[in-house]
Structures are given as C-alpha cells and as structure tokens.
Structure 1
Amino acid sequence: MTPHRERPPEPGVRHGAEDLALARAALLAPAPRQRRLDAASLRTALTDLHDFWLAGHAAAAGVVGAGVALVTVGALARRELAPHSDLDLVLVHAGRRDVAEVADRLWYPLWDAGIGLDHSVRTVDEALRVAGRDPRVAMALVEARYLAGDRVVGETLVQAARRVWRSGVRDRVGELTEAATQRWARCGEVAHRVEPDLKNGRGGLRDLTLLDALAAAQLVDRPGEEVLRARELLLDVRTELHRASGRARDVLRAQDGDEVAAALGMTDRFDLARALSSAGRTVAYAVDVALRAAHSWVPRRRLGALGRAVWTRGVRGGAPPRRPLDDGVVLHGFVGEPRPGRPAPFPTAEVALAREALPGRDAALLLRVAAAAARVRAPIAAGTLARLADTAPELRRPWPREARQELLALLGSGPGLVDVVEALDRTGLWGRLFPEWGAVRDLPPRDAAHTWTVDRHLVRTVVEAARLATTVSRPDLLLLAALLHDVGKGRDGDHSTVGAALARQVGDRIGLWPSDVDVLVAAVQHHLLLPHTATRRDVTDPATVRRVVDTLGGDPVLLELLHALAEADALATGPGVWSTWKAALVADLVGHCRAAMTEGALPRPEPLDAERRALAEAVAEGRRPDVLLSADGGLATVTVVAPDRPGLLSRAAGVLALNSLQVHAAELRGHADVAVDVFTVSPRFGSLPEVSLLREQLNRALEGTLPLAERLAAKERDYGGPPEDPPPPRLRWFDDEASGAVVLELRAADRIGLLHHVAAALETCGVDVRWARASTYGPTAIDAFCLGPASADSRCSNPRFPAADRARIERAVLAALG
C-alpha cells in the first residue's frame, strides 16, 4: 500500500480517534501477569477493537450508501494484529465524486491519534490493474477483508482479486521466488540469527504469508499442523516484543529476549531462541517445498524432435526427465539453465528413488540418496523423504562398509551438505543416524562470537573441513571430527569431555577401527587445544610446545587433524574469528610441535631483526624513546623502544588504546640495555594512526604530561562507556605453562584500555610481565600474562609466586577493573 502524504488538516474533516487510542492503551497497560491477556487473546482483542471502531468511524466519515467500501489487508485482515502493527486500509469505490473528502475524514483522525497507517484509494478496476503490475499488492489483496460500507463493492474487490491471483500466479512464481531470495539475503534466517527478524527473515511471518498465497492459488496444500504451531509461536513472540518494547519492532534483540521469554512462560532467552529456531526451520522447509511445487507449474519451453518450440506446464505437457545419479537414485525434473541476460529459471529437479529401488532392503540407500543430493545441490523430493522415513531399515551396529562410505561421501560433498542435513533433520531421518544430535538441535550459542545454532555450526564446520581435506592424511577422520566436535554441548559437564565420550559411541556404532576411534575421540577432546594455546600462550616457549606435544601423545596425524579442525571450526563460527594473525600463530605452534615430535627439537628465541637492533642502539645512546609501525593486511606491528623503567608496558598500552588500537599480543624483550616491546595490533575501527603521533604521545605519557587515565575514561564514555552489569571477572593461575615463570589468565568484560589498567596493576605489585596475549570473544576478553619476579629484592622475588603474593596481585587487578 502507498502511504498518504501528510498535510495540515482541513476544517470540518476531523473526527477524533482519542477513544481508539485510549482503548488500545488500556489493552496494553501494565498489569500483573496473571491478569493480563496472553499474546493470542491480545491479538484477538486488538482485532475486534479496530474492526468495531473502524466500522463506526467509516460510517461517520461518509463510507455509507452505494458505491464505496472500506477494506483491510495485512495483519488486521488476517486477524493477527500486534500491539503496534500498522493498519493497512483500502478505500474502494465505484466512481464516487466525493471520495477524496471521505478519504480525508477517514485518515486524518488516525494520524492524529498516532496510529501507523498505510492506505490507498482505488476503484475495483484500478486496484486490479495495480495488482497486475505489482505482485506484492496482488498478494496483499488475496487476504483482503471487507470492513464497512457497500458490501457489494467491497466483496467484489475481494473476490475479483482472488480470481486474478489464481489465474495469473503461475506467471509470477519466478518474481515471488526472486523477491523472497533477496529478502532472505538481507535479513538472514530466523533459525540461526542471534537477533532474528521475525517478520522478514527466512522462516518468518512473511514466508507464512507467501505460503498462504500459494495455497490460495491452489498450487500447494494448506499448511499442516507443525507449520501452524510455528506460526502461533512467531506471532506470540512478535506480540510480546511489541508489548515489551512499546513500539513496532520485528527484530528480537538479545536484551529483550528474557522479558519476552518470561511473558511466554519460558525459562530464559536461550529457551526462547531454541523454540524460535525450531519454528523458523519448520517454516523455511515448508516454503522451500512449496516453491518447488509451485515452480513445477511454471510454463517451460522445450525443443521437440524437429526443433519446434513446445510449451509445457509441469507434467501436463510431458513427463519430466529422470537422470540416474547412483544405484537406486535419480534426478527427477527440470534443472533450469541460465539464458543470456536473464536469471536462471528456478530448478524444480529433485533427487528421488528410482522405480527399481528397494528402500526396505537396502541399508545404505538413505545415505546414498543424501550423498547424491548434496553432490548435485538438488533437494530430496518430499515423497522420497516420507518413503524413506517409513521403510528405511535401521542401520545395525556396526554399520556395513557401504553405509560408512556413503556417510563420508555425504560429509565431503561441500556446501550442498547444509540443505540435505536440514531436510533429513526436519523429517527425523538424521536423528535416526545420530541420536546424539537431539541435545544440540536448535541449541542457541552462549556467546556473541557464534553466528549459528550449534547444530548448524557443526554442519558448516564439516563444509569448511571438506575444503581442507587435501591438507591431512586422514580426511575421513577430519570430517567426522568436524561433525562431532561440539556435540557435547547442551549437556552437563565440559562439552569437550562429554563430546569425546559421544564420539567414541558414534565411532564404534559406524564401524571404525578401534585405533581410528581413539584418534577421533582425541580430536574431539582436544579440538580447542591449538587455538587456545596459540592465542593465550607464547608459542616459542619450549614449555608451551612440550605441553601440547605431551597432550597429543606425540601423534603427528592427530596434530594435523587438529590444525585443520581449528581453521574449519573458526571459519564456521562467524566473521572475523579466523584472522590472519590467529592463522599464523596456530601455524607457528603446529610447526614447533611437529619439529618436536619428529626431530626432538624445541624452539629457541629468535634474535631481534636488524631494524629493531639498530633502533635499540640509537635509543640507548640518545635515551629518547622511539616507535616503529609496520602493517601487514589487517594487522600491524608497533615496536616501542625506550629506556627500561617501571610503567612502560601500561603507558604504551594506554597510548595504543587511546588511538583505537586493539592489542592482540605483546612481546617484551631487551637489547643494548633498553626495552624493546613489540605489540601486534589491529584498528578497532578506521585506519592506523601516524607513527609520529604515537611517538609524540608515548613520550608525553612517559614524561607524565599526558593524562592517560582521564583521556581513556573520556574515550570510553564517547563510545558507550564501560559495559553495564558486566559478568564478574575471573583470574586463574597456571604454573607449568611458561619456562621459569607463571601465567595469569584474566577473563572479563572487554573495554577500551583493559590491557593498560591490568598492566598498571601488575606493575604496582613489583612483577615483571614477559609477554601478554589478548583474545576477544564478542563482549568477553581473555587476556594472559606471563609473570616473573621483577628483581631479586622485589616483593615478588619467588618465581613460583606464593599464595600471599598471588592474593595481593589478584586484589590489585580486580581493583583496577573496578
């Protein structure tokens, strides 16, 4: 609908809508939960209220007598009105000359009352012509409902719009599909977004409207019970989101999740997210099936034996082709080929069972169908899925070799795996193969770094692992480890340990050799070892390398599996999780561990390069601090060279934070009696600062003329301030993970200048920070510091740091965070 352009109200055309606004406010007024309307009852009450008021208001505005009627479309027409939904109204007439005045009397009071309004004024013929040009208008009119005025005129529009829709929809299926695909690309999926768009996302309310429109055209059946339950949940969540936020909002933000969940009787936002994921996937799968069914009726052009053009509609003009894919598996239907200057037609080809297939006797047929579908990137026919669900035999333990091979073919198929697993899971077949999947199905992530639900993350990790299959000697174990690495989530206990036990269960069931089961279990148990060690410890420290080698039992095959798995896991987690810096650190750690395993060689510290040595010698002679800055892709290295003194680390870190540089690592070394501190950084936003600015600010900070604390506090306020109600920080000590030193690990809410504050606290305690690592996971920072005594007569002279020293250090760090 097209919004009416506002203009000042004219005398004599206003009728108050204050009573409607007051009634709406009364329905939405805060009340004890046991006394307020539930979501469904609230929608019904709002619909009845607006129907009643609009009917009376229309009569007062002149929508009476012959030739004019008020019709509604959208949420009000569907009786799904949320608290702050707009009203979509059509004033339809049969040539009434005073229709403009009637329209003004209709619309202005609604605007005055602050009620959102989309509206149009049309004759029946005009409305049908607009619908003929714009499929969105045509879909809206399919659900139109008469409200007031001349019923004959109103019902004429309603019935004619439905006839036009049914007669012309086959020529519009391509447009509808393209529009939906573009919308999904913009808004993502309801099932897998941390903050889903309930209306526009894939599997959301607009997809349900599309399903209704296709059903009204008699191209598909009406939605079944599962889809209806999903619709009810999506509507309830949107209703409570409107009520909680006090505005028309369709994106469920994380901060609104707990309140909406409580209103719906759920435990918390994670419980709500899991239910929404299931609903969104149900709707998305139903839409996929419906669009394929609708496209089977789209006119298709094929060339006959003599080269003449023949048009067919689905199966009516000739049987669709069947192409063999594998034993008992065929590709049935039209694939669709691109034409110059035009998009490719929607492929209606589906993977189906061959006529001679015997699903009740062929134990590997289910996996063979799935592998073929993933390989050719075509959906499995709904009838085939239903038949397999009814007749496929249970795979007995251990699986036959052919079934195991088909599973590996499926897992190695690449991007086509995602939709195939989705289809198998929605029909219960995936759960038959892997009963362990139930705990992670639709399980929402617990941290902001993860983009997907846990089950979708596992499948996407397999897709990434398939791309890395040639980098390992056992790609089969890599694919299985990728599928199972997080399967322990959603249960009590550490997910890696729980997942390892489940991996043994799966490995035994599918018939792996016992030695291969052991490697698979170890890969799941230790899938976080390399990325966590590389980003939180010194990869050149012999103690670090020795610990990793010992943990892996000196097995180079397991090492290379974990290397590939670390990359696949990070790439499937979310954007930016696998960075150039992280990849280089993990590769360095793997290289050192491989050398230790095969040659017994442990890493040695590398000397400073010539440029840094020369700068250190110049600073030693002139005693004036200096800075080097070099960039490599999205990362940069800042080298601070200055006379060694307490407070250098914290002040250098403060200057970097002041220039919006996020520190990932700090190596603190010396040469020619001066400190050489090397920071690996990246801009939080924008570009790198000029090195002259860093040099000038560092000198001022060391001289005490740059008020770092005040400037950092102001910068933090400018960018939203410190986090509200942050989780309590946690400190942990590790005694055997650094040579001749200990490691202090801090987990806390991330904030600007965090490294500066912690380093300053450590300096006041008289400890020597040898290196630091900083990792950020969404809003949480995990920083590690290698600590040694500052001097023999320092308050912390014992390299093991007794309990009293540790308690004092912890108090200082926690006070700095406060």
Structure 2
Amino acid sequence: MDVSLLDSAQLKEVKGRRAIINRAVLETRLKEIYESGLPAGEARAQVLSLLRGSLDQGRGEVRRRFLEEGETGHATVRANCFLIDQLLRLLYDHVTQRLYPLPNPSAGERLALIATGGYGRGELAPGSDIDLLFLYSYKLTARTEQVIEELLYFLWDLGLKVGQAARSVDDSLRQARADLTIRTTLLEMRYLWGDQDLYKELKTRYQGEIRGKDPARFIEAKLGERDQRHKKHGSSRYILEPNIKDGKGGLRDLHTLFWIAKDVYRVDEIPSLIDKGVFTRAEVRSFEKAQEFLWTLRCQLHYQTGRAEERLTFDFQTIIAEAMGYVAHAGTQAVERLMKHYFLVAKDVGDLTRIFCAALEAQHNRRSRFRLLPLGRRRSVGGFTIDGDRLSAAGPETFIKDPCNLLRIFHVAQQHDLDIHPQTLHWVTRNLKLIDRDLRKDPEANGLFLEMLTSKKGPETTLRRLNEAGVFGRFVPDFGRVVAQMQYNMYHHYTVDEHTIFAIGILHAVEQGHLKEEVPIASEVIHKVLSRRVLYCAVLLHDIAKGRPGDHSELGAEVALKLCPRLGLNEEETETVAWLVRWHLLMSETAFRRDISDAKTIRDFADQVQSLERLRLLLILTVVDIRAVGPGTWTAWKAALLRDLYWLTEEVLAGGFLTEGREARIEVAQQALREGLTDWEPAEIEKHLRRGYPSYWLSCDTSTHLHHARLVREAEQFGRPLTVDTRIDRYRETTEVTVYTADHPGLFSRIAGAMAVAGASIEAARIFTLSNGMALDIFWIHGANGEPFERPDQRARLSAAIERSLGGKMRPLTELKKRQSVLPSRLKVFKVRPRVLIDNGASAGHTVVEINGRDRPGLLFQVTLALSKLGLVIHSALISTYGESVVDAFYLRDALGSKITDETRLKRIREKLLEALQDPDCKPEPPRKVAARRKRRAAATANRKAVEDMKLEKAKESE
C-alpha cells in the first residue's frame, strides 16, 4: 500500500526515519516469532518485548535529536507521529493477518484504522494521548470486535495512552452532526492502515455532508469553548506560570483558529488563508513562528518533566531556559528572557485571533455576542461609525490619512463606553508603523493619551486595549520595553505591563471610593491631592525601567523627566512625578523594614518626603503598587503599618508631637497608664512604672501598656516563671503573643524556634527587659497562609512549644531539620543571594542590621541564634516576606546597651549572619557540571540560530 498517496504523506518529511523505526526489519522479526511454533502466550510476550524495545529505542532517538541536536518542536511531534504510525501498522497487520486471519473478508468485515485529533493532524507531543477511530462499514462483527480488542490490549500493554472510538461510517456522520467535538476530531482525521476505500468513503461524505455546514454554529461553539478554557486556566495571557497548551495565547488557541479555518474556509493548511484574504503572508509567518515556538516549548516541558505536563512552572522555567539556549543579558536573567519570548508569542496569538475573527465577521456576517442599545439616534461619533456596541473605522485609510486616529478611536470608545470592532483593530495592528517620532511629539496625540490615562470613565480597560493592539508600546517606547517583561520570583504574579495596568485600575477604584473599607486613608486623601495627572503618571511610570541594568527607580525617574513634558505636564508636575518614581519604594521599605516607633525613623522619612502633598501621593502610590502585585500581597498587617507611618509623618510635617521632648512624651504615656489603672493602689502603679525603661514607654500605646501591667501583676501574684499570653489584634488582623519570663541570652532565638516548630510565622517582634530582670517580649504572628493564629488548639500548641523550648525539653534546630524536606520544590528553584546590611545611622540608640535571603523553615531561628552567640541584644525585629525572599531588620545593642561601632566586630557580625543565611539548596556546582552545562547551552544557541537562519532563507525564497 503506497502511503505517500494518502494523508500520511506529510510525515514523509521526517528525516532519518529508519533510525527511529525500521518497519521492514520488525515485520520480518514478527513473522519469525509467529512461525517459530511457540505457545500463544510466549509468542505474544516476545512480540510485546520486540515492539516495546522498538518503541523505547524510537522515542530515545527522537528525544536525542530534540535535546542534543536542536531538532525543532515541529519536527519532533512529526517524528513521534511517524513512530506510532509504524507501530500501529505492524500491529494491525500482525493481528489481522496472523492472529485473526480472514482470507476473503465480506463487506461487513471491512475495518480501517484512522488517526483523529492532534494525532490525526500529524502532531504528537512526547506525553500526549493517541486518538484512534476504528472505522467499520455498517456493523460490528465478532471478528472485527476481536481485532479491535486485541489491538487495544497490545497498545495498553506497551504503555500507550489511547483515546479510542469504534463507529461505522453512518454512525460517525450522525454523531458529528449532533456533537461538535466529534465533528472537530473528524475534521483532522488521517488514514493510518486497513481498508483505504472505507476511509475515503467517510472522508468524502464528511466533506460533502458535514464540513462547512452551519458555519455560524461551529464558530460560536469553538470560540465558546475557547472562552471557557481561558476562564479555567486564568483569563490573562500574562500569568507567570502559564498553561502553554490550554491557557490564553497557548497552542490550543492556534488549533482553534485552524479548526475554524478548515471547516469554514475549507482549507487544509494555514498558508491557504492568504488566498482567502484572511491573513497576509507576514501574518502566516507569525502563525508558523508562534506554533513552532510553542511546540518546542511543549516538547521541552514534556521531556524535562517526564510526563504530559502543560503548566510551565517556576521550577522548570530555569531548566528549559538553559536547554533552549537563553542567556542572561543587560540585567535580565535567562529565564526572564525565555518568559518574555513566551508572553510576546502569546500576544501574537491574540493578535492573530483578533484578525481572524475580524475576517469571520466581514465574510460570514458573524455578529457581536453582546449588543447594547444604539447611542441615541447617532450612528457615528468622533469621525467613526457605531455598529451596535462597537466602534468602527471606514477602512485602513482612516489611520493612514491621520495617524492620530490610532489613538483617537480608543479615546472615543472610552468616552462612550463602546467596544472596538475586530476588523478596525485589525487595521490598527497593521498600521502600527504610523506611530513614529512625529506622532509621539504631536500635542494632540499626547493630549488624547493623557486624557485616556486620567479619565474618570476608568482607564484600565482602555489601556489594556491599547496594549493588546500594540499601540501603547509604540506610542510610549519605554513602556514597550516592559511589555511581557517577567520578574522571576514568587512575589510578583504578573508581567510588568500587566502589573502597571492593574495598578492604574486599582487607583481608579480608590478614587471612586470602591475600596474604602480596605484602604480608608488612601480613599480619603486621594481627594486632597493637587494634581490627579501627577498621580496617574506616577503609577504609569513607577516600574517603567524594570529589566534594565541598574536601579529601576533611578532610571524610571529619568524616563519621567523626559516623558512627562511630552505628555503635557508642567515643570512642577514633572518634578513631582520623577520624585515619586524615584522613591516609590520608600514608604513600604520604611514601614516594613524599620521600627516606626523610633522617632528617628519618622524624622528621617519626613525629611525625605518634605511635604504633605508628597506624603499623600506616596501613600496612594504605595497602596496601589502593593495591591497590584497579586492575590494575597495586601494584608491587614501591611495596611496598619502604612497607616501608622502616614499618621506619624503627617504630625511631624504639621509640626506635631515628635518635636516634643523625650521626657515629656514618656510622662504623657505614664499618665495615661495611671488613668487607666483605676482599680490599682497608687503605690502599686508607681512600682510598675519604675519597671519600664524609656524605650518601653515610647514604643507602645496605652492599651498595650494596660494589658502588660495586668499581665505582669498576675504573673507575680501567682509566682509564674513563664507567662505566654495570646490575643487577636483586629487592627492588624494578626495574633499578638506576649511572653513574660526571666531574661537570659538567646531568649528571642529560643522563642522564635518554638514558634517555627508550632507552625507560626513572625511578622514583627518587640523585645523589652524590665528593671526587675524580666523580659517582656511581644511577637505578632500568623499562620502559614497568612491567617491569624487564633484556633484554641493552635494557641495551646504554641504555648507548649515555647515552654518546652525555654525549659530545654526541645531543641528547635533538631525539630526544624526534620522539616527541611517539607520545603516546596517551587520554592527551592529560586536562588536568593544572602546579603547583610549594617546601618548605624538609621537609629539614634541602635545598630540596625538588615538581612536578605531565601525563605525556609527556621531561618529566623538560625539568624537570631547567631546574633545571640555574638552577644548581641535584640530590641526589635521586623520580618518581611516577598515570595521566596525574606528581608528582616533587627535593632541591636551590645551587652552594655550601646551601639556596635567597632569595625572588627561589625565584620564578624556580617560573616556569622552570612553563614546563618547560607542556603543548603544552593551548593556550588562541580566544575565538570558547569562546563557540561555551558557546552549544552552553546550547542542549543547554535542550533537555534541555524534554524532561524534556515527559516529566514526559506522566507526570502518564498517572497
């Protein structure tokens, strides 16, 4: 049977086919086994062994070509198809000719083996299922059933995942009419083996009776399936761990276009759409490049994970980036360059989808699924026509004659709450080259952009449309540089451009009062700022320089100084935007990494901010920036710290209490306590007041002082050596734990270790030693998922762990080492360079030490243990976690109560802390492994370049 005459001709492009599988040799060997006279069971075992060995060898050869020789993903899936095709043909002949021979089959015994789905399309990923249709003529005879069962048993015993159906020609057509899924699978059917005439009958009748019939229903169904799929896997194509098959912008979106093209336009390959007027030659190339990249990525994912994995998780992104030859460049990690490539391809897939849908509407009268009432009686607005709920241009000449219309149409759509017709968006995309230096300097164009950015109609949707159409990045080239820019960490959930657009949407929600409960202060002060334009421009530009070498805040401020005048901001507004971009992290770093009860912290922050206007703007920018990072990043704890910092700084800038004398502030705190302890004797009150040192009275509010006073009195009355008190702090949505016990070196470390063993995470801590030699330590903790530690069993377990640790009955380090294996593999993939910063200028009375490292169970215990062994006293600690990274700040003194200023001692502190921060999972690679990795990377880069050069040559030839 001449396979080259059939649909399988496309697989003849597979090179070196006999090195993958040699059917003639295997056929001879199968015949020998059959004729050897072995018992049936033993003969079957030998057949299975032979075919399993051939399957493993073939798969190994395809894998080797892909991973070692740089074979493309497209060639790899074709080669996998070829391998399975040959095995199926061998098995079919073996079963039908030897096991169940039928010399003169009747019409009812006819059987054909058909590939369907992706396998029918000639694309088989390393871990994908094999979709088969066993096609019989009009009835399923006993012999035909035996053949099908035997074939399936062989395939299952070979470990193949098979999706199968057995139907007659009539059944297949009837079910295709009723079920669009079956209609789609048959759309891509491919002859494998058996009765060729039977296959031709099904294909001929399918072409005449099913294909292209009721195209509107088929289109709506396929696009509906796509929308549901996107919803399931995340509606954004910029998710940092994307599903590269079923996610938005993935392979399945390309398949959807191909299915519709095959059914509606009756074409069998995408280049044929050029003649249909759907795609240009450049767009077909874009389709093929996207498909090639996604197939290569998917094959890498299947091979690297060893399974049919479709989600590109963090732990495999770095591995695949290296395997595909990506290297770090200009401040961007190799993995970030891979993911940026992926997101840009996903965006291209979205562009192709939009272009394709525009053609469908134009040529097949497909209408919008969402209709609104007409805008009054007007059928046009702003020079554009209104078609239902959508704005349309007369043609591409609308933009060619006046390039400003490329922005104006989005502005008009925003003003009148209209969508934009896909065909018009298609013309916009094809004319992006019109956005040049002259248009960027055009005052009208810049005015339109600024109005869209600051519109009270809501800028998020409009900016996202501008970004999807490619207009945003062309009009603001600096923004274009961060489109699809990934930040490779577990803290940021979106690409930089998506994060920025989300932040602008949140800013609008704050301004509209939609977030009053979550951010009450920001919702109030936003109406006091002098310039809305400053605020919106600052949010737009705060991350504009991400991905460049150097400090993105400083570089972003430089961008602001150039861009803001172009957009129409005056000199004062421009200066304020640049300052906000430069210092957009200042407020969060101060609130989360510094002790805001320390007067010097507030004074230093106020000196940097200088004005109430800047303070208001900075608060709002900080709030929307954090909230736009992703789910779970905004917490009540962070909100409380920012509110407190804002209020304290506001008082300073208004000439408030921090300018008062220290002694006066202590007296105010003590007097408030006297007034609150109405049931105490005066002598008892004065005795308690003498216990606290100045730092204690200056660091806590009145309610906390009252709580501590009663706790201490009760502990002394009952002679308790250890008191562990827990209460829920509703203001910060966290659990406050107070430990009152005899002070001794290493106390903080032992408590921190016990809390880690009990499953608690520490947000912050304040450490006080009273004049009676007792320690009064306060910890704010939460559970593993950020929830308050409030269940009775949790609190009981915590108290027991602290008691056992302080009593020497439990060694936290030993307990925590048992739990190291619990660290998620996704977290282990991230490497955070340990860092220790020592600042003697941040506090008047303490040395501030800030450490940075990768988060892991017990890290705080190991760090505080190192500090204890160095003879240092911890006054307070602030614990911040950013995904996989921790940034902890400690306010320290030596045993005599002084700052640490000796350089030799500071050097030793740094060394010991770096030892404690050393990540056990970040061991240096052996030199041989490093050399081998570099060799593989160089080979992959060279192969990729060769493939690109070959494609370029083909493109030139075709043109």
- Both structures adopt the same fold (TM-score exceeding 0.5): yes
Structure 1 residue corresponding to 2:387, chosen from 332, 336, 357: 332
- 2 CA distance for matches of 1:404 and 1:244? 50
Contact 2:55-2:83 within 8 A present in 1 as well: no
Evaluate the alpha carbon distance shift between residue 230 and residue 413 of structure 1 in structure 2; reply closer, same or farther with a 3 A threshold.
Answer: farther
The number of aligned residues is 773
The match for 1:699 is: 803
How far does residue 756 in structure 1 lie from its aligned partner after superposition?
1.7
Contact 2:393-2:424 within 8 A present in 1 as well: no
Letter in 1 for 2:753: G
The match for 2:923 is: none
Segment drifting more, 484-493 vs 354-363: 354-363
1:17-61 Cα offsets, whole Å, 9 max, x none, are 325413423324557966464433322322222233323432333
% identical equivalent positions: 27
Contact 1:44-1:79 within 8 A present in 2 as well: yes
The match for 1:619 is: 715
Evaluate the alpha carbon distance shift between residue 489 and residue 718 of structure 1 in structure 2; reply closer, same or farther with a 3 A threshold.
Answer: closer
Structure 1 residue corresponding to 2:341, chosen from 275, 278, 282: 275
Segment drifting more, 718-727 vs 378-387: 718-727
Evaluate the alpha carbon distance shift between residue 787 and residue 322 of structure 1 in structure 2; reply closer, same or farther with a 3 A threshold.
Answer: farther
1:537 partnered with 2:594? yes
How far does residue 539 in structure 1 lie from its aligned partner after superposition?
1.6
Evaluate the alpha carbon distance shift between residue 437 and residue 693 of structure 1 in structure 2; reply closer, same or farther with a 3 A threshold.
Answer: closer
1:779 partnered with 2:884? yes
Evaluate the alpha carbon distance shift between residue 411 and residue 352 of structure 1 in structure 2; reply closer, same or farther with a 3 A threshold.
Answer: farther
Aligned 1:356-755 pairs, distance under 5 A: 359=399, 365-374=405-414, 376=417, 378-384=419-425, 386=427, 389=432, 399-400=442-443, 403-404=446-447, 406-412=449-455, 417-418=460-461, 420-425=462-467, 427-469=469-511, 471=523, 472=526, 473=529, 474-552=531-609, 554-602=610-658, 605=698, 606-607=701-702, 608-621=704-717, 622-632=719-729, 634-670=733-769, 673=772, 674-685=774-785, 688=790, 690=792, 691-719=795-823, 723=828, 726-755=831-860
Aligned-pair Cα RMSD in Å: 3.4
Segment drifting more, 511-520 vs 290-299: 290-299
Contact 2:734-2:780 within 8 A present in 1 as well: yes
- 2 CA distance for matches of 1:134 and 1:410? 46
Evaluate the alpha carbon distance shift between residue 379 and residue 397 of structure 1 in structure 2; reply closer, same or farther with a 3 A threshold.
Answer: closer
Contact 2:880-2:887 within 8 A present in 1 as well: yes
How far does residue 278 in structure 1 lie from its aligned partner after superposition?
0.8
The match for 2:871 is: 766
SS in 1 for 2:406: helix
1:402-434 Cα offsets, whole Å, 9 max, x none, are 74255333454677735x445534554223310
How far does residue 79 in structure 1 lie from its aligned partner after superposition?
1.9
How far does residue 191 in structure 1 lie from its aligned partner after superposition?
3.9
Contact 1:203-1:281 within 8 A present in 2 as well: yes
Evaluate the alpha carbon distance shift between residue 357 and residue 117 of structure 1 in structure 2; reply closer, same or farther with a 3 A threshold.
Answer: closer
1:140 partnered with 2:185? yes
1:132-186 Cα offsets, whole Å, 9 max, x none, are 3332222222111122222232133334445524213422444433332221122
The match for 1:248 is: 308
How far does residue 777 in structure 1 lie from its aligned partner after superposition?
1.2
Normalised to the residue count of structure 2, the TM-score between the two structures is 0.74
Structure 2 residue corresponding to 1:187, chosen from 211, 233, 238: 233
Which runs of no fewer than 5 residues in structure 2 stay unpaired?
A: 1-39, 266-272, 328-333, 513-522, 660-664, 666-697, 919-959
- 1 CA distance for matches of 2:500 and 2:480? 13
- 2 CA distance for matches of 1:667 and 1:106? 72
- 2 CA distance for matches of 1:113 and 1:773? 58
Letter in 2 for 1:439: R
The match for 1:205 is: 251
Contact 1:543-1:736 within 8 A present in 2 as well: no
Contact 1:360-1:393 within 8 A present in 2 as well: no
The match for 1:229 is: 289
The match for 1:52 is: 86
Evaluate the alpha carbon distance shift between residue 744 and residue 56 of structure 1 in structure 2; reply closer, same or farther with a 3 A threshold.
Answer: same
Segment drifting more, 802-811 vs 482-491: 802-811
Evaluate the alpha carbon distance shift between residue 790 and residue 104 of structure 1 in structure 2; reply closer, same or farther with a 3 A threshold.
Answer: same
How far does residue 298 in structure 1 lie from its aligned partner after superposition?
8.8
The match for 2:899 is: 799
Q: Between Structure 1 and Structure 2, which shows a larger proportion of helix residues?
A: 2
1:761-798 Cα offsets, whole Å, 9 max, x none, are 21222222111111111111111101122326xxxxx4
Contact 2:80-2:126 within 8 A present in 1 as well: yes
Structure 2 residue corresponding to 1:22, chosen from 56, 68, 82: 56
- 1 CA distance for matches of 2:762 and 2:247? 36
1:655-709 Cα offsets, whole Å, 9 max, x none, are 2111211111112235573322221111004864533433333233222123322
Contact 1:254-1:269 within 8 A present in 2 as well: no
1:80 partnered with 2:123? yes
- 1 CA distance for matches of 2:560 and 2:177? 57
Letter in 1 for 2:744: R
Contact 2:78-2:123 within 8 A present in 1 as well: yes
The match for 1:346 is: none
- 1 CA distance for matches of 2:221 and 2:125? 28
Evaluate the alpha carbon distance shift between residue 32 and residue 664 of structure 1 in structure 2; reply closer, same or farther with a 3 A threshold.
Answer: same
Higher-RCO chain (CA-CA 8 Å, sequence separation at least 6): 2
The match for 1:115 is: 160
How far does residue 372 in structure 1 lie from its aligned partner after superposition?
3.8
- 2 CA distance for matches of 1:233 and 1:202? 15
Normalised to the residue count of structure 1, the TM-score between the two structures is 0.86
Segment drifting more, 239-248 vs 199-208: 239-248
SS in 2 for 1:200: coil
Contact 2:411-2:448 within 8 A present in 1 as well: no
Evaluate the alpha carbon distance shift between residue 684 and residue 706 of structure 1 in structure 2; reply closer, same or farther with a 3 A threshold.
Answer: same
The match for 2:391 is: 351
- 2 CA distance for matches of 1:632 and 1:213? 57
How far does residue 485 in structure 1 lie from its aligned partner after superposition?
0.7
Letter in 2 for 1:804: T
- 2 CA distance for matches of 1:590 and 1:39? 55
Letter in 1 for 2:768: R
Contact 1:68-1:153 within 8 A present in 2 as well: yes
Evaluate the alpha carbon distance shift between residue 384 and residue 290 of structure 1 in structure 2; reply closer, same or farther with a 3 A threshold.
Answer: closer
Letter in 2 for 1:327: G
Rg (Cα) greater in structure: 2
Letter in 2 for 1:226: S
How far does residue 255 in structure 1 lie from its aligned partner after superposition?
2.5
SS in 2 for 1:731: strand
The match for 2:74 is: 40
